[in-house]
C-alpha cells in the first residue's frame, strides 16, 4: 500500500502516521523529520533547508524531490510506505507521480486530516517530541501530557520543543499551507483517491476511522 497523508500543520498527521506505520508495518517517510535529521547532522541538504524551516516556508522543491527519489527506491519501501508532508505543492505532486511511475507503483489512498484552523496554533505550540530519534513519540502539554513533565513515557528520554513551533512561525506555516498545499486536496479528489477524516477528537477514535477507511479499500 502507498498511503499519503494531507493536512494542515498540527492536524495530527505525524501522530497518526507513526501509529499506522507500526500497525501496518510500513515505512513512514516524514519530510519534516527527514529534514530536521539532515539539519541536526549538518548535511548539505540540512544546511540548505534550515533557513527556510526557521521561517516556516517551503524548502526548495528540488531538495525534497531528490530526497524522496532516494528514499522511495530503498528496499524498506518495496512493500509500500506512508508519505507524511511530501508532496506539499502541485509541482511536488507532479514529481511524485513521475517517481511512482518509474517504480511501477501508485498511491492507494490519500487521507486528508481536517481540523478547524483555530485549534492548530494551540496544538502546535504545545507539542513536545521525544528527543530519542529511535522513539520520536509525540506529546502535547495539555491534550496528551507525559506522565512525568518533559520525560518520554515510552523510553525515558528528555522531550524537546521544535524551534519552528512558536506563534510567529506557525502563522507563516498556516499561510503557506493554504496557498501551496490546500490545492492538493482537489488534485487528489479528482483522481477519486481522497478520503477526508475528521482530525478532531480522541486520537484512538481518529486512528480507528483511518483504519476503517483503509480496510474498505483493500
Write down the catalytic residue from 13, 18, 36, 128.
13
* Position of minimal CB gap to ligand AP5: 32
Based on CB atoms, which residue is closest to ligand AP5, 125 or 193?
125
**Active-site entry in 50, 71, 123, 127:** 127
* Residues forming beta bridges with residue 197, ordered by sequence position: 113
Kindly tell me which of 117 and 143 has the beta carbon lying closer to ligand AP5: 143
Q: 16 Cβ partners below 8 Å, 6+ apart?
A: 5, 113, 203, 206, 207, 210
DSSP letter at 84 equals E
CB of 187 to ligand AP5, least distance (A): 14
**Minimum distance from residue 83 beta carbon to ligand AP5 (Å):** 9
Query: Has 128 been annotated as catalytic?
Result: no
Q: At a CB cut-off of 8 Å and minimum separation 6, what does 101 contact? A: none
Cβ closest to ligand AP5, residue 11 vs residue 130:
11
Residue among 71 and 140 whose Cβ is closer to ligand AP5: 140
Cell of 7: 493536512
Catalytic-role residue among 18, 50, 88, 128: 88
Least distance between ligand AP5 and beta carbon 58 (Å) = 4
Closest approach of ligand AP5 to the CB of residue 104, in Å: 23
Residue 191's closest CA among 114, 115, 106, 113? 106
Whether residue 212 lies in the annotated active site: no
**In the bound complex, what is the minimum distance in angstroms from residue 126's beta carbon to ligand AP5?**
6
Q: What are the DSSP calls for 138-188, one per residue?
A: EEETTTB--SSTTB-TTT-PBEE--TT-SHHHHHHHHHHIIIIITHHHHHH
- 142-149 — which CB contacts under 8 Å span 24+ positions? 144/203
* Stretch (H or E) spanning 159: strand 159-160
Residue 30 or 214 having the CB closest to ligand AP5: 30
**Which residues form the interface with ligand AP5 (CB under 6 A)?**
7, 9-15, 31-32, 35, 52-53, 56-59, 64, 85-86, 88, 92, 123-124, 126-127, 138-140, 143-144, 173, 201, 203, 206
3-state secondary structure 133-149: CCCCCEEECCCECCCCC
191 is catalytic: no
What is the total residue count of the chain?
Answer: 218
Is 88 among the residues known to form the active site? yes
Q: Active-site residue among 50, 71, 128, 173?
A: 173
Q: Which residues are catalytic?
A: 13, 88, 127, 162, 173
Amino acid at each position: 500500500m502507498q498511503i499519503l497523508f494531507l493536512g494542515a500543520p498540527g492536524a495530527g498527521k505525524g501522530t497518526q502516521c507513526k501509529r499506522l506505520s507500526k500497525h501496518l508495518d510500513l515505512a513512514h517517510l516524514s519530510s519534516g523529520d527527514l529534514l530536521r535529521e539532515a539539519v541536526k547532522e549538518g548535511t548539505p541538504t540540512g544546511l540548505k533547508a534550515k533557513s527556510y524551516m526557521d521561517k516556516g516556508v517551503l524548502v526548495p522543491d528540488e531538495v525534497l524531490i531528490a530526497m524522496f527519489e532516494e528514499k522511495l527506491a530503498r528496499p524498506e519501501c518495496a512493500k509500500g510506505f506512508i508519505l507524511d508532508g511530501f508532496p506539499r505543492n502541485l509541482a511536488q505532486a507532479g514529481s511524485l507521480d513521475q517517481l511512482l511511475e518509474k517504480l511501477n507503483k501508485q498511491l492507494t489512498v490519500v487521507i486528508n486530516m481536517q481540523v478547524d484552523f483555530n485549534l492548530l496554533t494551540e496544538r502546535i505550540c504545545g507539542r513536545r517530541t521525544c528527543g530519542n530519534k529511535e522513539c520520536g513519540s509525540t506529546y502535547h502539554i495539555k491534550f496528551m501530557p507525559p506522565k512525568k513533565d518533559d520525560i518520554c513515557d515510552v523510553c525515558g528520554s528528555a522531550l524537546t520543543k521544535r524551534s519552528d513551533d512558536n506563534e510567529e512561525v506557525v502563522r507563516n506555516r498556516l499561510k503557506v499551507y493554504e496557498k501551496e498545499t490546500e490545492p492538493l486536496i482537489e488534485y487528489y479528489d479528482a483522481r477519486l483517491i481522497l478520503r477526508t477524516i475528521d482530525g478532531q477528537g480522541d486520537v484512538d477514535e481518529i486512528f480507528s476511522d483511518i483504519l476503517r477507511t483503509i480496510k474498505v479499500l483493500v
